[in-house]
Structure 1
Amino acid sequence: MGRVLVTGMGMISAIGNNVAENHESLRSGRSGIGSVSYFESLYASQLPFGEVKLSNEELKTAQNLEQSSGYTRTCLLADKAFCEAIADAGLSKGQLSSLDTALISASTVGGMCLTDQLYEDANRRSQGSEYLEAYGCSAHTLKLIQRYHIKGFTDTINTACSSSANAIMLGARLIRSGRVKRAIVGGVDSLAKYTVNGFNALKILSSEPCKPFDVHRDGLNLGEGAAYLVLEAEELAAGRKVYAEIAGYGNANDAHHPSAMSDEAVGAIRCMQEAIRSAGIKPSEIGYVNAHGTGTQNNDQVEFFGMGELFGKMPPYSSTKSYTGHTLGAAGAVEAIYSILGIVHSELFPGLNVNEPIKGADHAPVSEWKGDYKLNYVLSNSFGFGGNCTSLVFAGVN
């Protein structure tokens, strides 16, 4: 059972339209959370969001999709990040169409980003729009399959906020088991009335930029984005650029509550333990944790407690959601790429907006950018509604 290596990455978020722009924003401590230009909602003028800085028309032009129909914003964001990832890996049309190549994507809102149009179509208040087949969670995946002629195993995962972390885990498991040799994995979500109204009903949206792991945190900011990674079996990557190894993964469910985690962090601790165990390392070898860190009272306290129980003396940690907002189904893949960028460039990226850390300065998240900081192993956490918790371990490659 050989190693699973990352040979390509692509993404778009509130802090950049590609991997390089995202990296520069992280290094500069530049957040993308603020007022919106394209998302239409009652709350658009009341709350901050992590909005991608391109309109649908600009995304269509960038991807040569002006003449295509049925592309929601979710589909457009997915195509943008996917295209960058496969170009970065240098995949040919033949490799994309190979039965040894899998595509596993993730989303929570999917085509329901067109909430008003969905209502009109579903209630026969329209003549039937071009989006009739685009409302499902898997619509963006089907668009990618059709446009890039993908013929191998495909799947779409929706496990809330851990969705794309689970896509990465499934892709790595398929390669390790010999079922495929290559997997393109990731996820996408766009801002939508459907999700904004839902999170607002839970009273967990902050009226200010979120402050994960701060004593005075008061909620999260929703964001949008897409991120994809090309995973390949070790034998395919010989002589090629390699970013990192998918060294370990773990998934657990604490079965505690539909939208909250147990105070004992049962699921969080178990998935972190399993990820570290499957990587064949000790907890003390983790050099940095990209925390789930949403900025809500429950999540941050439970995750902080779980890390303390597992590590004792905690490694450096922070939440990059303070840059992008919570991108829901895309979050696991977005933060996977951020974790890998830290490994590749020997950097720690700071959490933003933390003025009074949980448990004081001795336990504070990373507060400033650090360069020349060697990272061998990074742990990335993604905890979803319903207690679906997933952790990934990324390793540097020689």
Structure 2
Amino acid sequence: MERVLVTGMGAISAIGNNVRENHESLRNGRSGVGKAAFFESLYASQLPFGEVKMSNKELKAAQGLESAAGYTRTCLLADMAFTEAVADAGLTPGQLSSLDTALISASTVGGMCLTDQLYEDANHKSGGSEYLEAYGCAAHTLKLIKRHHIRGFTDTINTACSSSANAIMLGARLIRSGRVKRAIVGGVDSLAKYTVNGFNALKILSGAPCRPFDTDRDGLNLGEGAAYLVLEAGELAAGRKVYAEVAGFGNANDAHHPSAMSDEATGAIRCMREAIGSAGINASQIGYINAHGTGTQNNDQVEFYGMGELFGRIPPYSSTKAFTGHTLGAAGAVEAIYSILSIVHSELFPNLNVDKPIGGPGSAPVTERQDGRDLRYALSNSFGFGGNCTSLVFAGVN
């Protein structure tokens, strides 16, 4: 079976416009959650968000897209992270266009980040804007395909908060099975009235920076961002920079509730167990868990319970969503990169804002950066609405 290696990474989030800046913020405990500067909404002045610190104009300029039409913020964020990942892997235009190269992206809001413009266009209140073809979930993927001349297998996944984790899983499966030699995988989401109003209706948005795995947690902060990883078959990576191996993956769905997981953590336990099993290791070999950890009552309690049931003594774990906010369809890929950074740099990033851990001091998340950790395997969890749960196992290659 072909090994699946990570040879390139790109990311943009509330804590950095590239992977290096994201890493520096994680190391320094610097959160990007706060007052939104570009997101136009009634709630922009009332709630904290994990907003990318670039305007649409700045994003266009950074990517040389000033004259390009139909690029929503979702498309711009995707292009930024995608371009970094491809450059980091040193891929040529010919490799991007090869039929052996797949592109699998993910998003939940897609072009509906332009909620007001969508309403105007859909109800014939406008003369037809430049975004008529940009509202779909896959619009950003189509932009990437056209701009970078991608001709191989492409797909766009929307399984809520596990979307980009599933994109990584699908890319790894395609490589393992020999269907492609290379896959660029990840996801993107931008802040939108559509999602903010929806999450507010569920009454799970916090009015303060979120507190994952804290007894007094009262909800999540929405964020935005994009992240992509270049996955390549082992035979292509000889003599090249390799960050980590996608060693295992698992997906399960407990189908318990449209917006909550079962108290028994059925899907969470099964996907973690399958990911560890497909990596060919024992649960005791996991050295770190990048938890989904949204800061909501249901998610954190269920995930904590599931980890305890599977591992007994839970390995060091933390949620990084207090840094970035919940980036929805981008979260799986963003946090996959953070998990890989933990392995590469032998460090654990802190779970911010925890005063009273839900499991007590003996099973608290990591609350301060830890250096010098010899990490061989890290587990990254992404749990979505409807109980769609995905776990990924990354392995060091040194």
TM-score by length of 2: 1.00
Task: Say yes or no: does 1:170 pair with 2:170.
Answer: yes
Q: 1:193 offset after TM fit, Å? A: 0.1
Tell me the alpha carbon deviations over residues 155-196 of structure 1, each in whole angstroms, 9 at most, x when there is no partner. Answer: 000000000000000000000000000000000000000000
Q: 1:148 offset after TM fit, Å? A: 0.1
Aligned residue for 1:75, secondary structure, equals helix
Aligned residue for 2:119, secondary structure, equals helix
Structure 1 partner of 2:86: 86
Aligned-residue CA RMSD (Å) = 0.3
Aligned residue for 1:49, secondary structure, equals coil
Task: Say yes or no: does 1:343 pair with 2:343.
Answer: yes
Tell me the alpha carbon deviations over residues 191-218 of structure 1, each in whole angstroms, 9 at most, x when there is no partner. Answer: 0000000000000000000000000000
CA distance in 1, matches of 2:240, 2:315: 32
Identity of aligned residues (%): 84
Structure 1 partner of 2:182: 182
Aligned residue for 1:7, secondary structure, equals strand
Q: 1:59 offset after TM fit, Å? A: 0.2
Structure 1 partner of 2:311: 311
Task: Say yes or no: does 1:50 pair with 2:50.
Answer: yes
Q: 1:388 offset after TM fit, Å? A: 0.3
Task: Say yes or no: does 1:151 pair with 2:151.
Answer: yes
Q: 1:98 offset after TM fit, Å? A: 0.1
CA distance in 1, matches of 2:372, 2:56: 39
Task: Say yes or no: does 1:6 pair with 2:9.
Answer: no
> What residue identity is the alignment partner of 1:100?
D
CA distance in 1, matches of 2:34, 2:129: 32
Aligned residue for 2:247, secondary structure, equals strand
> What residue identity is the alignment partner of 1:338?
Y
> What residue identity is the alignment partner of 2:245?
E
Equivalent runs, 1:193-232 vs 2, <5 Å: 193-232=193-232
TM-score by length of 1: 1.00
Tell me the alpha carbon deviations over residues 210-265 of structure 1, each in whole angstroms, 9 at most, x when there is no partner. Answer: 00000000000000000000000000000000000000000000010000000000
Q: 1:2 offset after TM fit, Å? A: 1.9
Structure 2 partner of 1:358: 358
CA distance in 2, matches of 1:23, 1:302: 28
Q: Which runs of 5+ in 1 are unaligned?
A: none
Q: Which runs of 5+ in 2 are unaligned?
A: none
Structure 2 partner of 1:332: 332
Tell me the alpha carbon deviations over residues 268-309 of structure 1, each in whole angstroms, 9 at most, x when there is no partner. Answer: 000000000000000000000000000000000000000000
Task: Say yes or no: does 1:274 pair with 2:309.
Answer: no
CA distance in 2, matches of 1:179, 1:104: 14
> What residue identity is the alignment partner of 1:317?
Y
Count of aligned pairs between the two proteins: 398
Task: Say yes or no: does 1:130 pair with 2:130.
Answer: yes
Aligned residue for 2:359, secondary structure, equals coil
Task: Say yes or no: does 1:115 pair with 2:115.
Answer: yes
Q: 1:104 offset after TM fit, Å? A: 0.1
Conserved in 1, the CA contact under 8 Å of 2:349 and 2:369? Answer: yes
Structure 2 partner of 1:323: 323
> What residue identity is the alignment partner of 1:388?
N
Q: 1:359 offset after TM fit, Å? A: 1.9
CA distance in 2, matches of 1:161, 1:214: 21
CA distance in 2, matches of 1:320, 1:370: 14
Q: 1:101 offset after TM fit, Å? A: 0.1
Task: Say yes or no: does 1:65 pair with 2:62.
Answer: no
Flag as ranges the 4+ runs of structure 1 deviating above 6 A.
none
Q: 1:123 offset after TM fit, Å? A: 0.1
Q: 1:105 offset after TM fit, Å? A: 0.1
Aligned residue for 1:50, secondary structure, equals coil
